[in-house]
Structure 1
Amino acid sequence: MGHWAFLEGDTVVGIGHLRPSWELPGDLPEIGWYLSPIHGGRGLATEAAAALLQHGLINLGLTSVWALVHADNKPSLNLAARLGFLLVGTGFHYGADHRVHVALP
């Protein structure tokens, strides 16, 4: 687990993490991603987040990966759905309303 920079060539276009959650109980593994808006619309966030998810579920053998997605962040909500995350609830996390998602192997 850790933190990653998303690169396109030599340019950092975003960042991501796969780490024990700071918000969910029991140190559940949490994934997060951010892509600079100027690099959006080309599938880069999908590619990067999919690689992080695969790393967690396959390489590390995690039994679940959790994503807390801001309730108003439609692009990230759509990305979570594309990656196969299941919406399991809502909650107040990181100071705002979030949708709670889980991905299973």
Structure 2
Amino acid sequence: MLKKILAGAALTVGVAVLAAPTAFAAPDDNPFGPKDSTANFVSAFDPAAYSGTSKNSWIISPFGTSRQIDCSSFHGQGWCTQNGRVLTQVRIPAGSSEWDYRMLYVYNPF
């Protein structure tokens, strides 16, 4: 009798383990970031930064673009970090419209 009870319990546990849904992690593509945005930046000390065709944001940092730059945005507000430090944003007018500007990001070591 004890063997039948143990066999029934083992069978129940086995079915429960097989029928239980598998756990899964949240998707890795968070729409708010942080995302690697290094390709969207150019060092302000690079002569190519001032060509008419360059639309990338400028960065003044001791690391330039050699270290990863991560950017995030939420509810119309955006920010970027490098080495865990928030980069200070400066809008530089690039035309006659309020919406025509280039961004300059400055690394703050403090």
TM-score (norm 1): 0.29
Which one has a larger percent strand, Structure 1 or Structure 2? 1
TM-score (norm 2): 0.28
Larger radius of gyration: 2
